[in-house]
A and B are shown apart, each in its own frame.
Chain A
Amino acid sequence: DIQMTQSPSTLSASVGNRVTITCRASQSISNWLAWYQQKPGKAPKLLIYKASSLESGVPSRFSGSGSGTEFTLTISSLQPDDFATYYCQHYNSYSWTFGQGTKVEIK
């Protein structure tokens, strides 16, 4: 099975900061990677699909990049609404695997 490893597990940042979260796959997954945002007590929300495509309605300060085994989610200028937990997710052969999550906290 392909394993997805996110780093860091927790990130402290201030409003306006540029934030980068990394997701690494245990083997090449091409660009079959999605990113989700989850706030406490709420369902996850799709941000990015196919590694770099922005979901409709998601602010342009969010961007995704990477292919193969290393991927990044970047928030260009952190806003108060962005403090949340972020998950990467991979689909392969009728199995979906999530990373363990990265919590973005207020510094």
Chain B
Amino acid sequence: RKEVEQDPGPFNVPEGATVAFNCTYSNSASQSFFWYRQDCRKEPKLLMSVYSSGNEDGRFTAQLNRASQYISLLIRDSKLSDSATYLCVVSPPWAGNMLTFGGGTRLMVKP
């Protein structure tokens, strides 16, 4: 089993739609969680950290479910510019300085 698993997609949605991605992680003792965004042929960039209580940043909401070992990302009112690959990132407790990246979920927002 992969340490961090994501549905690769693509998720094709119209502008203005709400879309949600889930990501599952294998190590129940993992402490830190993030969503990164990666545009085509570009480097990953931090979108948001994921806190135990859940957190929101504008149109983006991240949730953590420790019992079921998954994190989610909800995007409301999708924009064309949201088209990208979204990477789920986890820091297992043994990892020290290392992060473990999921394979990414591709989102395509259509006019």
A and B bind? no
List residues of chain A with CB under 8 Å of any chain B CB.
none
